[in-house]
Structure 1
Amino acid sequence: MKNILNIIEKRVLATLTGGLLLLSSCGYLDVVPPEQPGLGDATKDYETTLGFLYSCYAGIRMPMTYSGVESGADEWALPPLWNEGHHGIVYNNQTPTSLSGGWTWGSLYQFAGQCYLFLDKLKEAQDVTEEQKAEFRAETDFLLAYYHYQTLVMYGPCPILDGFVPMNAPSTDFPGRSHFDYVVDYIVDKLDKAAETLPADRDQEKWGRATSTMAKALKARLLVYAASPLWNGSFPYPEWRNTNFETPGYGTELVSHSYDPKKWERARAACEDALNHALSHGFALYDDLELYERERIALPYIPGLDTSTPEGKEFQKRVMLMRYLVTTRVGDGNKEIIFPHPNNGDMVIGSMPHSFMKLNNGSDFGGYSGVSPLLSTTASYFYTASGKRPAEDPEFTPENQWFASAGLRGREDIVKFNVGREPRFYAWLAFDGGDFSNSLMDGKPIKLRLRDRETHGMNLNKTPRDNNVTGFMSQKFIVPKLSINRSGSWLNNQSKPRPLIRLAELYLNLAECEAALGQNDKAIAHLNVIRERAGVPDLTTSDINNPLSMTDWVRNERFIELWGEGHRYYDIRRWMIAPETMAEGKRTGLNALEKENPSFEDYNKVVPINQPYVWTSRMYLRPVFKNEVYKNGHNMVQAPGY
């Protein structure tokens, strides 16, 4: 049997024996597809039943793209001419009449409908034991929880569809939005039920199918979100409520407007349970420091690092460790990824510098050079080698000298800001004068020349749309041994999963709860597990409120460790800190787009990103397409501000 990740990758909507199980509508009012010819064959034996189940998995979303919902955060900028979903979100251009920018409401309810259809047909399945049916039902419970979870955290209070709704039912019979806390409880119940039956882990052949560890981890994340300020007393639209539809026990209210510390206690218990469950069943932080050697890859160049010492070589190994962390799977010995997604996404080619190699036929080969980490957050939040933000590290280069040349022989373009940083900075980011990747250029790293129009710099004639925006580049998710040869062929371009949930998040979730509850010693201990793996000095009690609070340390560690993995969109909203980093004029970078072939001094100026960014409170939630509200106008209300 093929690995489920490979199967799902090929079945965005599964083709089953006897007919297509395609969901034709785009809305939650049409959750149950009409009976189709040959649908009875979908459960005629074990293999076809399993294939039907796999079709229910196909709605699991890939959050690491530059066109999807999660791109609307403060981690990176994109070239303005791309006009991606990212831009629609961060420019506040999303409206109830537009489906751009990662519209997901309809597809999430469609796949919930696929799950209900599967459960109905599972009763007729042939050559499937009762034990197997029980496991399939548990997997479907997990998926129903997941699809409702995704809807809830993006759109806020949402309808609960807990079973079949007849296709000929009047619109008044379709539910409206349920209270946020009520939906949370519904999802938690589904996940608890699934966890009772599902195995804790899967072998490589079944890796990607639901497990009890996935269920507990998703529950923990949801409860942390529910305890956060946006949903725990600080929602900015206190008058928003249903007009007609009522939630049992809540009436027409949609969001609780008073703070409840018990939500943090509930979340802490779930986080502790999820972490202990994962650890007791063999999950572990990825720690293979020697894979680079087995793959015969040279250790990376680190500016200013003395690699002749054991400490220097250990640092290089940590950089490689963090690159492998997000580009390996369970078969490679990676036991950290709890919930994988099969798709590489579109950020790899979008991140690569353009014109980095001449092919045998004389043409240039390169990427789009567009995924541009921000200076104001990303490059400034990643730690120094001392484990502090650059602006708050007294041992680091003074801020007024950050963008002066570090004076490295043969690497004069490297500025002091990019010297003396932590391993994750060098693992996942890149900058002028430094190296990009390990093997991409015919087995060698690319030495970046971001001021040179003939190679990686801005060239409006050759690449008018594809130019780096901030002076920093992302190399996260680039497989270390990926290479392009002189014929233009991709070598070692394995399909690698993306981590939807990994063990590090479980430590960070628990630390966040402990910080919220004033349990600083416990929070520090859990943060230090993550810091030690990354090669960063331990946090101590003397670091708290000097100047970052315990909560700020947790948030900063989360920003770094989970950078680019789809979390930040939700984090800045649930913490209600988006105005601090998302508003007009907040995003900065280097002066990468001023002119072609700029001088060193011109290039290394800090400037606001020249794009029409804006933040308003309505951006905490996404709008529902107008047709959804119109079709169910009796019960459905629009998100506030739209």
Structure 2
Amino acid sequence: MKILIKISLVTLLLGAVSCKKYLNVVPDDVATLNSSFANSNETEAYLIGNCYSSLQQLGDVCRNPGFTASGEVIIPTDLPSNASLRGSGQDAGFNLLLGEQNVPNPLMNYWDGYNQGLNLWQAIRWCNTFLANVNLPLDLTADNKKRWIAEAKFLKAYYHYWLIRMYGPIPIADVALPVNASTTAVRQKQQSVDSCFNYVVGLINQAIPDLPPSIQNTITEDGRITQAIALAVKAEVLTTQASPLFNGNPDYAGVKGVDGTPLWSAAAVATKWQTAAAACKAAIDAATANGAALYQFVPQSGLKHMSDSTKLLLTIQGALNSSWNTEQIWTTNTTFGYQIQACPRVTTDATTVYDFWSNFSVPMGETEIFYSNNGVPINEDKTFDYSNRYTVVQGDAANQYYVSKGYNTNKGNLNREARYYADIAFDGSNWFGYGNTDDNNPNVINAVNGNASPADPISYNSTGYWPRKLVPYQTASSNSVFTSQNYYWPFMRLPSLWLLYAECLNEVEGPGSDVYQWIDKVRARVGLQGVQQAWATYSNNPSKPNTQTGLRQIIHQERRIELAFEGQAGWDLRRWKELQAVLANPFIGWTVQDKAKTMSAYYNLHTAFQPFFGLRDYLFPVQQYDLLTNPNLVQTPYW
């Protein structure tokens, strides 16, 4: 078991009992500081158990608004408080889409740590305490000291970055405040958003030289920060700073601090994209130099039959759910713990599993962002019968490894790209694995009759689509017991960097071969033609890749497809200022709860619910309590 997991569990318990508010200067661990830094072992334990512990919690997708509030996955609105995600706080992020955000007690409160949030100011304080005391142990070697300081600086930078993405301008907690600090020192004010970003980048720059290029002792140190991780995060930070939400956003032009200082830049600065592009290229080079490469599934012994089509699906899925593979630039030590939420009832045995929740539901709008098998949007493909996509047809020979041949399903499930079938399960889709590894005689998802357990009607999927990508093929149930093939959650994969670089280059110089090549590398792995050829051949808008605006749309859609269900789309859609448009329409699915359980009853469009998302929701509110206790703070715009 990794050292991060061993120590962080204790820290989680310690952190859970703390009721301290933001920037309370009396540390919880005053009495134990001397013992915490008595020697090098205790000092490393403090780094891992305290400074890293919040990072592990951020790996929980239900704590990540990039996952829960993106519109990629929803949960049923009528679940009672005793259901898996209800009453536990794990539903807070999903409830944002129900319009339940508020100022007195905000959901996903990362300022104070309540309502499925996490007190990141406490996490930053732990990092500052570490940095202030790391010189105490006499047996700490110079090399370890440099590395550990670099790790703490990176973590402090990353926690600030997470807060910036949520709140915009924030205070900067750069040093550990003494116990006797004055009220003025404690009541810090927000800095301008560019100052905040620049502070984060500056800390990462300080950390990079003293971080290891890669992890050598993978048994005990997988999950710790490397140069490649730091450079990749720096690239993401700078791209976020250059993006429309933060770069000259007119919606925030007049927002000022309590002293009248503007907190947002008045106009967009184009050179930020150039800076971000350079950072992306540096991150790609560093990752590649340390062995980063696209994952390829290698068939294991005991597989009965696997076609090339199925192998491609497992390659796409494995890039996410095969831990520590070469494609994963940054993987946390947090296991994905929601497979029983993401998995349909694949077999008859699964319907007898107690609490087989299956609540993670993919709205139909999300399913329709995936391309046709020609690699262009389904509403642009000249050969795709878009207007009749909801009609019921039978699976055919051309799609037999993806959709059961002869099974009734909706027409929109046929002739789609491989990522559609790797990422999403639906009525009539084949499911390789779950105890059956013969894709000539596969398990088939019967959502019409097997969507919910008769003995447990609250465990159901509200749209008829599941995020299949989140469930490894080895996961199965046997004798009414669900057994997950656990995996560690990745924060960033290599294709994410490629697409970030393509995005930055397009914003700097517009379409060109240097931009296309990075998009095409992602598409080639999944068997699609390059963007120019695909659009010229199949799209009713063949010139789309040749304009900056058109290519921007393509890059954005490519990222949403490639990184679907990975906790990234919500952040991307926010920084692009596109989430409001995505959430303007109701979440649609099939009539999954019809008691008749017939095909004709099931295949009727049904509204799961209408999401609520307005201009104010791009950023999160600061709890009213904190504004009262610190008059130097101003509330988030529009709250």
Note whether the superposition's TM-score is higher than 0.5: yes
Q: Is the 8 A contact 1:357 1:366 kept in 2?
A: no
What is aligned with 2:364? 375
| Secondary structure of the structure 2 residue equivalent to 1:339 | strand
What amino acid does structure 2 have at the position aligned with 1:350? Q
The aligned runs of 1:276-355 (5 Å cut-off) are 276-286=285-295, 288-290=296-298, 293-298=299-304, 313-330=307-324, 334-354=325-345
How far apart are 1:198 and its partner, in Å? 0.6
Corresponding position: 1:537 with 2:529: yes
1:227 aligned to 210, 234, 242, which one? 242
How far apart are 1:480 and its partner, in Å? 2.0
What is aligned with 2:203? 190
CA-to-aligned-CA distance 1:181-236 (integer Å, 9 cap, x gap): 00111000110111111111103121111111111111100111111111112241
| Secondary structure of the structure 2 residue equivalent to 1:394 | coil
What is aligned with 1:433? 428
| Secondary structure of the structure 1 residue equivalent to 2:203 | helix
Whole-angstrom CA distance in 2 between matches of 1:259 and 1:474: 37
Whole-angstrom CA distance in 1 between matches of 2:205 and 2:592: 50
What is aligned with 2:226? 211
Whole-angstrom CA distance in 2 between matches of 1:390 and 1:365: 39
How far apart are 1:87 and its partner, in Å? 3.4
2:617 aligned to 607, 616, 619, which one? 619
| Secondary structure of the structure 2 residue equivalent to 1:470 | coil
What is aligned with 1:406? 394
Whole-angstrom CA distance in 2 between matches of 1:210 and 1:364: 39
Whole-angstrom CA distance in 1 between matches of 2:456 and 2:633: 46
Whole-angstrom CA distance in 1 between matches of 2:493 and 2:395: 39
The aligned runs of 1:176-575 (5 Å cut-off) are 176-203=189-216, 204-205=218-219, 206-244=221-259, 252-286=261-295, 288-290=296-298, 293-298=299-304, 313-330=307-324, 334-354=325-345, 356-358=347-349, 363-365=352-354, 367-376=356-365, 378-408=366-396, 411-436=406-431, 438-439=433-434, 446-452=443-449, 455-457=450-452, 462-486=455-479, 488=481, 490=483, 493-520=484-511, 521-540=513-532, 543=535, 546=542, 547=544, 549-575=550-576
What is aligned with 1:592? 592
Q: Is the 8 A contact 2:59 2:334 kept in 1?
A: no
What is aligned with 2:399? none
What amino acid does structure 2 have at the position aligned with 1:568? A
What amino acid does structure 2 have at the position aligned with 1:329? S
Q: Is the 8 A contact 2:60 2:336 kept in 1?
A: yes
Whole-angstrom CA distance in 2 between matches of 1:495 and 1:223: 33
Whole-angstrom CA distance in 1 between matches of 2:297 and 2:485: 20
| Secondary structure of the structure 2 residue equivalent to 1:257 | coil
Alpha-carbon distance change, 423 to 630 in structure 1, aligned in 2, over 3 angstroms:
same
What is aligned with 2:401? none
Whole-angstrom CA distance in 2 between matches of 1:171 and 1:81: 47
Alpha-carbon distance change, 506 to 401 in structure 1, aligned in 2, over 3 angstroms:
closer
| Secondary structure of the structure 2 residue equivalent to 1:540 | helix
Alpha-carbon distance change, 299 to 91 in structure 1, aligned in 2, over 3 angstroms:
farther
| Secondary structure of the structure 2 residue equivalent to 1:499 | strand
Q: Is the 8 A contact 1:24 1:33 kept in 2?
A: no
Whole-angstrom CA distance in 1 between matches of 2:612 and 2:331: 33
CA-to-aligned-CA distance 1:313-350 (integer Å, 9 cap, x gap): 332211011121112223xxx11112112223343111
Residue range with higher mean Cα deviation, 535-544 or 504-513: 535-544
Whole-angstrom CA distance in 1 between matches of 2:359 and 2:281: 39
Give unmatched runs, 5+ long, in structure 1. 15-19, 245-250, 301-312
Percent identity reads 26
Alpha-carbon distance change, 271 to 31 in structure 1, aligned in 2, over 3 angstroms:
farther
Q: Is the 8 A contact 2:167 2:620 kept in 1?
A: yes
Whole-angstrom CA distance in 2 between matches of 1:191 and 1:23: 31
What amino acid does structure 2 have at the position aligned with 1:132? N
How far apart are 1:628 and its partner, in Å? 1.6
Q: Is the 8 A contact 1:63 1:565 kept in 2?
A: no
Alpha-carbon distance change, 407 to 512 in structure 1, aligned in 2, over 3 angstroms:
closer
| Secondary structure of the structure 1 residue equivalent to 2:245 | helix
Q: Is the 8 A contact 1:442 1:485 kept in 2?
A: no
Residue range with higher mean Cα deviation, 195-204 or 64-73: 64-73
Alpha-carbon distance change, 469 to 441 in structure 1, aligned in 2, over 3 angstroms:
farther
Q: Is the 8 A contact 1:428 1:475 kept in 2?
A: yes
What amino acid does structure 2 have at the position aligned with 1:448? I
Whole-angstrom CA distance in 1 between matches of 2:451 and 2:345: 5
Q: Is the 8 A contact 1:68 1:102 kept in 2?
A: no
How far apart are 1:23 and its partner, in Å? 8.0
| Secondary structure of the structure 2 residue equivalent to 1:343 | strand
What amino acid does structure 2 have at the position aligned with 1:338? I
What amino acid does structure 1 have at the position aligned with 2:134? L
What amino acid does structure 1 have at the position aligned with 2:300? R
What amino acid does structure 1 have at the position aligned with 2:61? T
Residue range with higher mean Cα deviation, 186-195 or 477-486: 477-486
How far apart are 1:630 and its partner, in Å? 1.4
What amino acid does structure 1 have at the position aligned with 2:560? F
TM-score calculated relative to the size of structure 1: 0.87
1:152 aligned to 157, 164, 184, which one? 164
| Secondary structure of the structure 2 residue equivalent to 1:500 | strand
TM-score calculated relative to the size of structure 2: 0.87
What amino acid does structure 2 have at the position aligned with 1:555? H
What amino acid does structure 2 have at the position aligned with 1:439? Y
The count of residues paired between Structure 1 and Structure 2 equals: 599
CA-to-aligned-CA distance 1:522-570 (integer Å, 9 cap, x gap): 2211011111112222221673853571001100110011111111111
Whole-angstrom CA distance in 1 between matches of 2:595 and 2:16: 50
Corresponding position: 1:51 with 2:45: yes
How far apart are 1:479 and its partner, in Å? 2.2
How far apart are 1:146 and its partner, in Å? 0.6
Alpha-carbon distance change, 484 to 364 in structure 1, aligned in 2, over 3 angstroms:
closer
Whole-angstrom CA distance in 2 between matches of 1:616 and 1:575: 15
| Secondary structure of the structure 2 residue equivalent to 1:405 | strand
Give unmatched runs, 5+ long, in structure 2. 80-85, 114-118, 397-403
